[in-house]
Structure 1
């Protein structure tokens, strides 16, 4: 690596080479990017490889239930103002995928890494990050993820004693509780639209009071910390009280919140807010999310929504009625096989939109929409749904594997 006084050991180099070869073979066989299988092989050959690859990087870890991939991209763009960046931009966010990404960044100064929330403590231990961004915690993949308070406890224990600067969303009580074990926390008022996972105090179990945008526990005194950074409309307020305009090509309030957190992270590395926010404008789409594609002579906007918090934010940015909406839900391994979360989503927000339903679990979704008194049609596939849509740009909202299916079908 550039400026590396401690080159990789022969074993580590062999692991990197073998991992890249396996990844290339996987790509050639048409089985995706190969980053996960390549990383698994590399870690088998050298279990300490992730730490070795990270030792000469200034590492930023980004974890959350929603917004990880986008925020990782925004931070990476901002930090490129200060030097080369390596990042797992494709979203492979467990140790194997992260190892693969870092193995490809031999001249990088910064490593900007999205981490699955269940792996955060372990990856932080291995990579000795300079900064960790914590955005939110909400229910997700009910069959495999522990409930949210257990995840917060895992973060809290895993980050205790870390030397990292933690940039945390002070509007999410679970994130605040998790971050409070850290010695150096920068609080960002990034907002929280979905509140249904934080009505009880994570510290004592008491009932959380939520007057306006504030929150506190009436029983133990656990309360919202005072932020030094804040999202205010279309601006980021920095610790000096200056307001910096946010210019994004990505839509919605959630992405402005991601930009605010990203600006706070960039400042940790000496990149000023104005420079950071200007660079974030370069990000047009993130792994296909928000892309507008042409399919069957129609404009389709592809939107990813994996859990109730994500659906709520996505509903806030779709075109107004009568814009047609196609909803696609699967329940494969990567989605979580339990679809009971559909009942936590307020589908009455789609009233007035013509709705078309596809995906492996279209009938589960149809029952949910029926109960929400929505008018919808169940279709066999995307092609049929698009043919049935009335005029106008079509908003296509899908969960994780359904989104990948859509991208393949439209050639994105």
Structure 2
């Protein structure tokens, strides 16, 4: 793509503005400057995104899905950087257009020349079709589709249909990597003409005892008939087929029992397999991938571990029914061995979270209460969450104490005080709440 002199000048001005704003925000310790510079630069050069996409030397990798984008993209970045590649990556999780522009501008010089072998960009589910208007990626990685912010997205089949329409015009050499355990994504992959590869689990020993309440898509995406499940790993992800039309799970390109995993929770096994398969498709040796997995550290708020005043803290983002069920499952597996401890649950209803919080009634909070100990509750919708947890308590249950704190700083202080020195405080926040919690714990916000 040739760039006109006019576009080049405007891109240079956009870069200068973005770098100036970034420097000021960070100098004044106002945040990470992951969104604002992109917003300002687009006003100067509306073509900033396509102009920079064309400069990525080896290819753009887009990562989409409801849960796991930030962790998976960070793992893949770490693998590629271990091989000596230079990677542009929206590490702060800013996955709307402004965040993508900011990320790429950070990797340019003062005249708008981009210095990156790969661009690894996590992309919001609704934004993917917009991004594909300006980009022909080398890879698209689809992790999963769960109900998340129905006020913004709609149902999962609607999102899948938008994705299919946007991906269909891409050239055949584009590689699409999808989670075969998700029926919706598996069916999507079976309809595409591009090079499609699938990851997933083949470990029946970790099936759930039953299909959870917060299940999204147990009907055949081809004919609408109920799917027959041999077993589920989490939510509607599992081993399935349709007795009516013959639709079934596609063959996997990875053998999951051979793979180690990053961090805690089964959901992170999926993230590991997803990033690992992309790396393999790029020709990276499996031994090098395993070594990176072994030494991986969490992205912010995603099983991130902090030391706060001598107390150990783990932040587990919990932004929808499936995500919160899995974080509760992880906490339950840890604390049922070590005994009851303290949890902090923070529920907000801002735009990044979704304004409808009725989803908390689809969460199996009974398991969290069953652990006992202390649960501190805070957030904009503190009383909604407190009511949900109160209904989760069995009649006469005395081993779980609920503490309500409207003020988040007070809630954090109380939770830390209630946590014994040898135990871990687990914090389960929604998205905007996670940013607030981290800001209070580390003194750094996202802007």
Q: Structure 1 length as normaliser, TM-score?
A: 0.89
**Which runs of structure 2 are paired with 1:326-405 in the superposition (5 Å)?**
326-350=344-368, 351-354=370-373, 355-373=375-393, 375-380=400-405, 381-389=411-419, 392-405=423-436
Whether the aligned pair in 1 keeps the contact of 2:200 and 2:252 (CA below 8 Å) is yes
Paired residues in the alignment total 397
- In the superposition, relative to structure 1, how do residues 349 and 47 fare at CA in structure 2: closer, same or farther (>3 Å)? same
Look up the SS of the partner of 2:222 in the other structure. coil
1:119 Cα offset (Å): 0.7
- In the superposition, relative to structure 1, how do residues 271 and 297 fare at CA in structure 2: closer, same or farther (>3 Å)? closer
State the distance in 1 between where 2:279 and 2:291 align.
Answer: 12
State the distance in 2 between where 1:268 and 1:56 align.
Answer: 22
1:251 Cα offset (Å): 2.1
Residue segments in structure 1 that go unaligned for 5+ positions in a row: 237-245
Deviations 1:345-374 (A, max 9, x none): 111222123222222212111111122226
The range that moved more, 99-108 or 295-304, is 295-304
Whether the aligned pair in 2 keeps the contact of 1:62 and 1:134 (CA below 8 Å) is yes
Aligned residue number for residue 92 of structure 1:
94
- In the superposition, relative to structure 1, how do residues 247 and 307 fare at CA in structure 2: closer, same or farther (>3 Å)? closer
State the distance in 2 between where 1:370 and 1:345 align.
Answer: 13
Aligned residue number for residue 410 of structure 1:
441
- In the superposition, relative to structure 1, how do residues 18 and 120 fare at CA in structure 2: closer, same or farther (>3 Å)? same
1:132 Cα offset (Å): 0.8
1:204 and 2:223 matched:
yes
Aligned residue number for residue 175 of structure 2:
165
State the distance in 2 between where 1:141 and 1:247 align.
Answer: 28
Whether the aligned pair in 1 keeps the contact of 2:343 and 2:415 (CA below 8 Å) is no
1:308 and 2:321 matched:
yes
**Which runs of structure 2 are paired with 1:131-210 in the superposition (5 Å)?**
131-163=139-171, 164-182=174-192, 183-190=194-201, 196-210=215-229
The range that moved more, 28-37 or 182-191, is 28-37
Aligned residue number for residue 242 of structure 1:
none
State the distance in 1 between where 2:229 and 2:349 align.
Answer: 34
Pick one of 212, 218, 241 that aligns with 1:216.
Answer: 241
State the distance in 2 between where 1:144 and 1:298 align.
Answer: 37
1:94 Cα offset (Å): 0.8
Whether the aligned pair in 2 keeps the contact of 1:327 and 1:356 (CA below 8 Å) is yes
Pick one of 121, 138, 148 that aligns with 1:113.
Answer: 121
Deviations 1:137-188 (A, max 9, x none): 0011122222211111111111113232011100001112333332210011
Aligned residue number for residue 110 of structure 2:
none
- In the superposition, relative to structure 1, how do residues 125 and 275 fare at CA in structure 2: closer, same or farther (>3 Å)? farther
Look up the SS of the partner of 1:264 in the other structure. helix
The range that moved more, 26-35 or 271-280, is 26-35
1:411 Cα offset (Å): 2.0
State the distance in 1 between where 2:301 and 2:49 align.
Answer: 27
Whether the aligned pair in 1 keeps the contact of 2:342 and 2:415 (CA below 8 Å) is no
Q: Structure 2 length as normaliser, TM-score?
A: 0.82
Look up the SS of the partner of 1:200 in the other structure. coil
Look up the SS of the partner of 1:126 in the other structure. coil
